[in-house]
A = this chain, B = another copy of it.
Amino acid sequence: MIFTNQFYEMEKYIAGLQDIICSNLESLDKIKFVEDNWTHKEGGGGITRIIQNGKVFEKGGVNISSVSGLLQEEIAAKLKVQKMNFGACGISVVIHPFSPKIPTIHMNVRYFEMENGKSWFGGGIDLTPYYPYPDDFRFFHSVMKDACDKIFPGYYKEFKKECDEYFTIKHRNEMRGIGGIFFDYKDGSETKYFSLVKSIGNSFLQAYLPLIKRRKSEKFTEEDKLFQLIRRGRYAEFNLIYDRGTLFGLKTGGRIESILMSLPPKVKFIYNYIASPGTPQSEMMKLYQPQNWIKN
């Protein structure tokens, strides 16, 4: 299949972004990313970069991939097209810091192109904190708003709502974290969406680094840590039951270890945990519901 220039530009963009994100995170910890290169059986491949057992970062992945091939039967059916060639590239980032005072963050932007000329963008960034620092959350959302609304006013409001819905653990009626922005199936022929994807990719460090720097030397209690481990359990619960990207990847023969790098390093599943009233943990629990963090 012959790709458009936009596809190659997206490939270049995500490769550059991977480098920038990795080097910036490395500068905050005394540990380096380890790199695994892999190839996809039909075409293309990826570069998985993993950080593990750092002082700041307990586990994280900054992965890019660009694969091509023939659409699988059920995917073609879902897209309502014939089986045809496609190409898909993107970057996925998940960072699980050791300290419960620093939130887990997830970012993904992706581009998909088909032989019939149809293409689209998708992506987003969302935050999963374990300690109630509303100022940090407002700051994070304000960076998201800037990244979206500078492309088109009103995008933040729309994508924030989509994010709140997407990252809800439906059987618990509770969000995985405090949301962010999320969008999918945005027409690849509209250049504003490529701009949007780049604006979001570029906002990642701007949104996350200040939160790390502000909180990395803060003390925390055993209760803070326990709560983080339990909420990481909910993170795993969401990713394995609901996350479309995870399930799609696993069921279509994606590289398992690259997909599941998103799972937290250590997790606790405790029967019927309820945060004690009046604790920071019980405050945090209230924030796992959609909030108006900033003025739309």
Contacts and interface: CB of A to CB of B under 8 A. Distances in A.
Contact of A260 (B257, B268, B269): B269
- Oligomer: number of copies: 2
Interface size class of A (residues with CB under 8 A): 20 to 34
Contact of A171 (B251, B264, B269, B272): B251
A228 to B, nearest CB: 13
Contact of A236 (B50, B240, B247, B251): B240
A172 B257 CA distance: 10
Contacts of A170: 251
Contacts of A240: 236-237, 240-241
A279 to B, nearest CB: 20
Contact of A266 (B172, B247, B263, B267): B267
A36 B172 CA distance: 19
A46 interface: no
24 contacts: A36-B272, A50-B272, A52-B270, A59-B269, A59-B270, A59-B271, A171-B251, A171-B253, A172-B256, A233-B263, A236-B236, A236-B240, A236-B267, A236-B269, A237-B260, A240-B241, A241-B241, A241-B247, A241-B250, A260-B269, A263-B269, A266-B267, A266-B268, A267-B268
